[in-house]
């Protein structure tokens, strides 16, 4: 919501500039100075526009005002729990749940946040990596032969570690975006918008002021709403990874660990023992193949949800800021989007 101090300063400066414009206009008429007269008239016109902007934004961004109602209607069917300071903007609240909160509801289904999904999977993979690492360090000596499990298990461990790193990157990406949304919720209408209104009052900073006003609207309204669009797209590709895939591989690895650990107590023949190890390794290989396939698909889904769709959100927000800036008389543009 608009800051009380910022609004007061903007209104005060507007009154001063109206007085300055009126004085310049009057002096121009009195002295016959047409240039001064036109300058005063132009300043009064700009003050009228600024007055409409200030009063309009003050009404739009009132608590439970028009903007909150509009955003609420656009996010109907999409909801999430979030910190109290985000509740004024349902779209930011939803985006927070989509990225790192307790989850979100879209349509009639409830989904986990990106951070929750990636974090749970990281914990499971770390546990699996520990078990496989312990097994890979074992060397079994039978008579004059030594069995080294590392050559079989290291490729699997390497894949597991790759997924842990990739999921950690996804978690960091979700946290960074969540932090940006928190900053937008706090600063967009309480700092950036009032500063823009203040700067637009003065002729030298009028274009910068228009750009800041457009930026505040783009960040507060357009950017969080794009996450609702992202959720509608991603819900069509919603995927999960069954815990059975992860637990099956972990169980096979633990079984092999127990089997090998009990070698000294076994009276089985060497052939039978080697056959048992071979059976466990075959099972681990099959489970690992199934898990890696499932993880690859799930990782693609999380990358789409965390990086690719938010990248389009940034593009849409930038375009909206560019167009709003032009409407507000700012010549600040993004040349990289001119082709769009």
User: What does the pLDDT read at residue 225?
Assistant: 92
Q: Where are the domains of the chain?
A: 1-60, 76-337
The Cα 270–Cα 142 span in angstroms is: 8
Span 202-220, pLDDT tens digits: 888 888 888 999 999 999 9
pLDDT band (50, 70, 90) for residue 78: confident
Residue 187 or residue 4, greater confidence: 187
Query: How much is the mean pLDDT over the chain?
Result: 79
* pLDDT(253) > 90: no
pLDDT band (50, 70, 90) for residue 149: low
Largest CA distance in the chain: 117
Q: Which residues pair with 110 in a beta bridge?
A: 105
| Least-confidence region, from 9-18, 178-187, 298-307, 330-339 | 330-339
* pLDDT(69) > 80: no
User: What does the pLDDT read at residue 265?
Assistant: 43
User: What does the pLDDT read at residue 314?
Assistant: 93
Distance linking the first and last C-alpha atoms of the chain: 32
DSSP letters, 220-287, are IIIHHHHHHHHHHHHGGG-----HHHHHHHHHHHHHHHHHHHTGGG----HHHHHHHHHHHHHHHHHH
């Amino acid at each position: 919501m608009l800051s009380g101090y910022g609004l007061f300063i903007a209104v005060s400066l507007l009154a001063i500039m109206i007085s300055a414009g009126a004085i310049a206009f009057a002096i121009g008429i009195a002295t016959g100075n047409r240039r001064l007269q036109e300058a005063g008239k132009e300043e009064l016109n700009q003050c009228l526009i600024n007055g409409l902007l200030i009063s309009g934004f003050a009404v739009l961004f009132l608590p439970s005002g028009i903007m909150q109602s509009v955003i609420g209607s656009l996010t109907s069917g999409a909801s999430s729990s979030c910190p109290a300071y985000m509740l004024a903007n349902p779209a930011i609240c939803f985006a927070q749940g989509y990225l790192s909160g307790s989850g979100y509801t879209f349509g009639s289904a409830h989904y986990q946040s990106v951070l929750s999904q990636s974090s749970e999977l990281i914990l499971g993979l770390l546990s699996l990596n520990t078990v496989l690492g312990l097994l890979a360090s074992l060397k079994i000596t039978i008579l004059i032969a030594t069995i080294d499990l590392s050559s079989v298990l290291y490729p699997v461990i390497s894949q597991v570690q790759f997924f842990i790193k990739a999921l950690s990157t996804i978690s960091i990406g979700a946290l960074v975006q969540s932090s940006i949304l928190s900053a937008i919720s706090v600063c967009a209408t309480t700092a950036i918008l009032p500063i823009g209104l203040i700067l637009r009052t003065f002729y030298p900073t009028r274009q910068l002021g228009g750009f800041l006003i457009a930026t505040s609207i783009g960040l507060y309204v357009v950017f969080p709403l794009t996450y609702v669009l992202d959720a509608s797209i991603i819900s069509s590709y919603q995927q999960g990874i069954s815990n059975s895939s992860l637990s099956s591989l972990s169980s096979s690895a633990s079984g092999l660990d127990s089997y090998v650990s009990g070698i000294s107590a076994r009276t089985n023949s060497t052939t039978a023992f080697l056959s048992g190890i071979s059976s466990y390794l075959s099972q681990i290989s099959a489970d690992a193949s199934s898990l890696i396939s499932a993880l690859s698909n799930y990782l693609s889904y999380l990358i789409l949800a965390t990086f690719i769709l938010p990248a389009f959100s940034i593009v849409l927000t930038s375009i909206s800021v560019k167009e709003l800036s032009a409407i507000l008389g700012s010549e600040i543009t993004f040349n990289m989007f001119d082709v769009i």
